[in-house]
Structure 1
Amino acid sequence: MKSVCVYCGASFNGDQELALAVEDLAKVLTSEAIDLVYGGGSVGVMGLVADAVMNRGGKVTGVIPQFLLDLEVAHREVTQLIVTENMHQRKKNMADLSDGFIILPGGFGTLEEFFEVLTWLQLGLHNKPIGVLNVGGYYDSLFQQLDVMVERGFLKLENRELVINEKTPEELLRKMKAFHVQPDGTWLKERNLT
């Protein structure tokens, strides 16, 4: 794993547990020479993650659409800043540049990005691990909802288990590295996940 895409909020609520988790994540990524790919913002949790990785000497690639660049929320100090025409190109670029995905606390945009790459994994469109860094139980209710979806027959248990849910960056990354799906998607098909 050479690069990880981190999806997270453009806001930050001041939660010190989250701030410490971001620092721990940056420490783990940089100690293993894993590059950060993220949404290119200088604000919120996005800015915290980028700064934490850069402060440890890590490589950071930000991907931001032109309209957000025009609003001056881009992080101009990152290693590489890629400007796209729109949000769709942004998400495609971020996914293409990454060997895995980590979800931190965030809002609608974070959830939308999470479920998009998760759906792509379910359908065999990529074979990259997806991990949720569940800081302070932020996503506990979301995982409960996934369980309800399984119980009521709208989500297969095999698909529910595609998401790695951990509270520490070290354990999350360890499990992400152990995750394996055949590049041609045969593991998904053999387990009837599509």
Structure 2
Amino acid sequence: MFEKFSQDARAAVEGAVGHAERADARTITEEHLLLALLDLLDPGEAPGARALLALGVDRRRTELTTALREARRAGGLSRADIAALARLGIDVGEVVARVEEAHGPDALAAERGPRRWWPRGHRTFSREARSVLVRALRIAQGRGDRAIGDEHLLLGLASGPGVVADVMAEHGASWADIERALAVPWPGRAAS
């Protein structure tokens, strides 16, 4: 499938691998894919990057990465999950504090499952990250595009269930927001 990726999409996937390596993560996750897409904002020439810039995500990058870190620290619970538990009288902040007191910082953020030993530097994609790649392929095919671009990866992230899609939506990058931003033509690109 990687041969169908545009240069920008390949850069995003390679960037996700780099984020996973720097974090010493066992797997490449949806969060790593999003962080790599945010790295593409600097040149701003990729369609997905241009959409994120149009949505102002570049100005909220710090808040977005903080929200992802907090969700990871809370064991992957989104703000909506935390609010629902609060309505039941469960203070997630207190639960996280007690767990971290007993088991150390970021105890709930630890990756689960058996540790696989791969050759140095080799990491696999998590089930959720693989789902993003599959959704990106389907989105590209559904649009009649010949290659999977960074915009398809971005839509693949926004279309899935989970914390990354929730955090993106909370920061102005929902599926609908991204679709609207992608529909706006810019020089060198015809409207779709």
Which TM-score band (shorter chain)? Answer: under 0.3
Give the structure, 1 or 2, with the largest relative contact order (CA under 8 Å, sep 6 or more).
2
As a proportion of its length, which structure holds more strand? 1
**TM score, norm. by length of structure 2:** 0.27
The structure that has the greater radius of gyration is: 2
Choose between structure 1 and 2: higher helix proportion: 2
